[in-house]
Structure 1
Amino acid sequence: MPHHERSPVLLSRYLALAWLGLIVYGSLHPFSGWRTTGDSPVAFLDGGWPRYWTVFDLLANVAVYVPLGLFLTLALRSLPWRFTAPILAVLLAAGVSFGLETVQTWLPSRVPSNVDLACNALGGLLGAIWAQAVGPRLFARIMEIEHRLIAPIPHAELGLTLLGLWLLVPLSPETLLFGAGDLRQLLGFSSDLPFVAESFVVIEASITTLNALTVGLMLSMLAARRVAAYIIVPLFLLLGLIVRTLAAAILIGPGEALAWLTPGAQSGLLNAIVLLPLLLLLPPTPRLMLAAVALLAGTVLVNLAPPNPYSAAALATWRQGHFLNFNGLTRLVATLWPFLTLPFLLLTSRRQ
């Protein structure tokens, strides 16, 4: 089957899996304090209306499952009979919610609720209806756009999914700009390098540059035409900066919207602006290999960097509230992104 005919289904499957992983993590975070209550894990089904609830919680529970219902319906679209995909999508979304609500019985920080289950199932239903209503037109549009803009390279759909996940990396205001792959908190170790302002600026600039090069080169490989890459790459990196700015303004305060624009970040962005146009002139395989090297180097530097004083200040002023689980989710994505992306780059370069 030609690449441009099968990719919308593959892309939907990748997006469905990615969104499912985000839902599972967000529903069970922080994955600690597990205990047995002695109650039945499905006792929440007989519970009444929860004592503590807000309209925000109800709408959030619905909204989170709308994309899952949408992606699942599109991913199952090749099944026979036109209503098979939406029915299975709704059942799967409701089943996922039921399973997560059941597991939350053993988490002291989470309260399983039949109302949450109903809202999640409603979200899956709305997503399935949306996909069923716009699915044919959406698929035709995706095929048209991909044929014009996306290069027919192996695993292109996976690359698009990874780039979509990358937009979660700048959402954590306590991390260095574009910094990803920090394993220190996950593995419980810290850097022995002391904080020195001059050297920290160099490290921060290097991390920003290397990660911007990785994303830019990776995106250029997915572009069907090299000329288009010179437009798409800067626009995508600019989108990452906009996400960073909005996240800082919302999560910390409007006055901190541009606090991330430190001398190190400015130098790193300037380096990327100078280097990327030159590197985009290289043939495909060297570009992919350079992207892999930049990704590895940036990940190593992130784990060697001394503690960032801005990170401590950001966390001190950040009232996480409803964003507590969201912060854990974005931090996990930022931690794992390089290790999910490296196999894609290596596999793609091997097939070039």
Structure 2
Amino acid sequence: MPLALLFAAMVVYASLYPFEGWRWPGVAPLDFLTAPLSRYWSGFDVLANLVGYIPLGFLLALGLWRSGWGRWAWVVAAAGPATLSLAMELFQNFLPSRVPSNLDWMLNAAGAGLGAGVAWGLARLGVLRRWTQFRSDWFNPHAHGGLVLVALWPFSLLYPASVPFGLGQVWERLEALLVEAFSGTPFLQWVPVHGDGSGALGPLAQALCVALGLLAPLLTGYADVRTVPRRLAFLVLLLSVGLGATGLSSALTYGPEHAWAWVNASALLGLGLAAVAGLAALWLPSRVCHVGLILALAVSLSLLNRVPSIAYLDQSLEAWEQGRFIRFHGLSQWLGWLWPFAALVFGVRAAIRAPALR
């Protein structure tokens, strides 16, 4: 259910972005339902609106089914997202940059119904029960927030970073906002700014950031995975997914021919250090994994936010941030910025709440 609610929030964000210029449309908000179908659509538009709601219907059906809703789970999982889509199209009347569409709503509703139908079919085949058994065999009973963070981590890697796997480099943007906000006030001198000595990270520091960037999700998962052999399988899977997501991000940013341009001596050293540290941590208790997560994030965020961004990366980010569908209306950049901070908060809470080493 947490993943379903999170995906619903992502849908709301993407549907109403950029949340600017609200005004009264001058027509009845529901007129779009009876309007003729738009002639201006592409195959990508149809696919995006259909596929975009399939995960929501599927995740909602799965969460409701596990909560004991029975047959009503499939009905609510299909009707709920369709109602949400109708509300989003309704609100788009009030945004000058968005256009409500009855075709979009029908495709969204069909996608949600398809997702709920897939979940229903898997339940009828017994797949969901086997997944429940698999989950209980692989993960601790309290595994919820950590699994959500691990599931979101590959998507956060799609936003380009100056250091591979170096998420959370936000200080320069935050600094610019603070300087603008306090300009002309006595509080401006309180804003910490980069000094003349701040520069690019050296090769070893970059390797350390790569290793720590991989250790953070790895330790998050270790805290929930039950046995050493399963942790080893998780290590291999996470490294593989991380490499694929970073390669895809590089291909989307600089072009397919540059998908692996980020692989250099520092990146390879960092990958090796992460693999060795991951092997050494296979036997760590859950609380120690959470403490290690906190330390890894604290050091990596400190290093990454002390250096300025790279000029050519800034130019690429401008193109990235102007692409509506690649960046999912800015959502990928928020994941890239905020994932490590969310993981840090989760790690602190988990370490405090743990009654004993386990």
TM-score, length-scaled by structure 1: 0.85
For 2:151, the equivalent position in structure 1 comes to 164
Between stretches 308-317 and 139-148, larger displacement belongs to 308-317
Partner residue in 1 for 2:267: 265
Structure 2: segments with no counterpart, 5+ residues:
178-192
CA contact (8 A) 2:14 2:329 kept: no
Asked if the contact 1:217/1:280 (under 8 Å) is kept, the reply is: no
Choose which of 285, 291, 294 in structure 2 pairs with 1:292.
294
Task: Kindly indicate whether residue 127 of structure 2 is the aligned counterpart of residue 138 of structure 1.
Answer: yes
Query: What displacement does 1:333 show?
Result: 1.3
Letter of the 1:330 counterpart: S
Q: Is the 8 A contact 1:248 1:258 kept in 2?
A: yes
Provide the secondary structure at the position in 1 that maps to 2:328.
helix
Letter in 1 for 2:34: D
Question: Distance between the aligned counterparts of 2:50 and 2:338, measured in 1?
Answer: 27
Cα RMSD after superposing both structures: 2.7
Distance 1:23 1:175, change over 3 A: farther
**1:52 counterpart residue number:** 40
Distance, in Å, in 2 between the alignment partners of 1:22 and 1:232 is 27
| Equivalent-residue separation in structure 2 for 1:106 and 1:269 (angstroms) | 48
In 2, Cα distance between the equivalents of 1:249 and 1:58? 24
- Aligned counterparts of 1:319 and 1:336: Cα–Cα separation in 2: 16
Partner of 1:230: 232
Structure number with the higher helix fraction is 1
Give the unaligned 5+ runs of structure 1: 1-12
- Which one of 138, 151, 159 corresponds to residue 140 of structure 2? 151
Say if 2:68 is the partner of 1:77: no
Match of 2:185 in 1: none
Flag the 1:49–1:184 CA change in 2: closer, same or farther, 3 A.
Answer: farther
Question: Counterparts of 1:189 and 1:280 in 2: how far apart (Å)?
Answer: 42
Q: Deviations over 1:24-64 (max 9, x none)?
A: 22222233343443333333223222242111101110101
**2:250–2:259: 8 Å Cα contact kept in structure 1?**
yes
In the TM superposition, residue 147 of structure 1 has moved relative to its aligned partner by 2.8
Between stretches 52-61 and 265-274, larger displacement belongs to 265-274
Q: Deviations over 1:223-263 (max 9, x none)?
A: 11023212321321221111111232245312110122244
Instruction: Please give the TM-score of this superposition, normalised by the length of structure 2.
Output: 0.84
Instruction: Output one character per residue of 1:145-196: Cα deviation in whole Å (capped at 9) or x when no partner.
Output: 12322133x2x02211110101112112345322222334764638625674
- CA gap of 1:233–1:310, structure 2 versus 1, over 3 A, is farther
Amino acid at match of 1:28: L
Aligned counterpart in structure 1 of residue 278 of structure 2, from 269, 276, 279 = 276
Percent of matched pairs sharing the same residue: 34
Q: Of the candidates 126, 139, 164, which is equivalent to residue 177 of structure 1? A: 164
CA contact (8 A) 2:161 2:167 kept: no
Asked whether the 8 Å contact 2:172–2:308 carries over to 1, the reply is no
Match of 2:82 among 94, 102, 112: 94
| 8 Å CA contact retained: 2:213, 2:296 | yes
